Amino acid sequence: MTQTDHLASHLHTAVAEELRHVRVLLEQLSMLLVADEHFALHHLEKMQMFDLLIQCTDESAAVLDRMAAGAKSHDAIEPVRLEVVQDRLRAALAKAA
């Protein structure tokens, strides 16, 4: 039996906002680390991981926003720009089907 949760879209929106907050924190942390000359010189290539985390967070928040606006699951993940994220989300839907 399928139940409609009238609060689901509000929760999707709230979680999307939480992810955006995480994004801001990641950006602040990465800026702090880049400002540390020693860290920047020795770990600059690893700083790219922050960019990936920020992009994944943005994409996840956008999916939740689309779901909150009424998009179906497959339609919500179609615009995801990071192929690896889109692939993981499609795999999750396939596993659940």
Tens-place pLDDT, residues 34-79: 899 898 888 888 888 999 999 999 999 999 999 999 999 999 999 9
Sign of CA dihedral 21, 27, 31, 33: positive
- Cβ neighbours for 19, distance < 8 A, ≥ 6 positions apart: 57, 58, 60, 61, 64
Q: CA angle 52-11-65, nearest 5°? A: 50
Q: Which amino acid is at 52?
A: L
Q: Return the pLDDT at 41.
A: 86
Beta strands per DSSP E along the chain = none
pLDDT category, 17, cuts 50, 70, 90?
very high
Cβ atoms of residues 84 and 57 within 8 Å? no
Domain positions in the chain: 8-96
